Amino acid sequence: MAKSKRVHVAVGVIQNTNGDVFISRRHAHLHQGNKWEFPGGKVEADEDVYSALCRELHEECNITVDAASPLTAIQFDYPDKQVLLDVWMVTAFRGAVQQKEGQEWAWVPVHQLEAYPFPAANEAIIERLLTL
């Protein structure tokens, strides 16, 4: 069976003033369900990555991104899906962060992220954050 086309995802690492990172738990019925993730979503065909990041974080987290910079890009092949995670560090935003899609969410200190089960593709994001 042929693998599906690679899914391009804009991912936001949102930090609060304490340096904690916003994460949420994926719904059980989704790919990699019940695992924790950084917010974001698919880049549409007519979007650049920054626009997709801003749109997704507004839809998911109720914030308006004022500034973000590229952190890393990760290509990862799951047995059933290929992903390209375009990861951005959100350095300024307006609004109170919340999870608008009904998922469990938390602010977590970077050094505690390894205690949460994340999809395998996200492990490189955590490793990168731990080196900052």
Could you tell me the sign of the dihedral formed by the alpha carbons of 63, 67, 103, 84, in that order? positive
37 is in an annotated binding site: yes
Residue 35 maps to a domain: yes
* Structural domains counted in the chain: 1
- Both tokens of 90, joined, read 């959100």
Task: Residue 80: name the closest of 24, 32, 41, 34 by CA.
Answer: 32
Residue 31 maps to a domain: yes
Residue 121 maps to a domain: yes
Sheet holding 20-25, edge to edge: 36-37, 20-25, 105-109
CATH number at residue 27: 3.90.79.10
118 is in an annotated binding site: no
Q: Which position has the token pair 């492990």?
A: 123
Domain that holds residue 57: 7-130
CB 87 within 8 A of CB 81: no
pLDDT: is 6 or 113 the higher one? Answer: 113
60 is in an annotated binding site: yes
122 is in an annotated binding site: yes
* pLDDT range class, residue 2, cuts 50, 70, 90: low
Q: What is the pLDDT of residues 19-34, one digit of tens each?
A: 999 999 999 998 889 9
Q: What is the pLDDT of residues 72-112, one digit of tens each?
A: 999 999 998 899 999 999 989 999 998 888 889 999 999 99
8 is in an annotated binding site: no
Residue 2 maps to a domain: no
Residue 1 maps to a domain: no
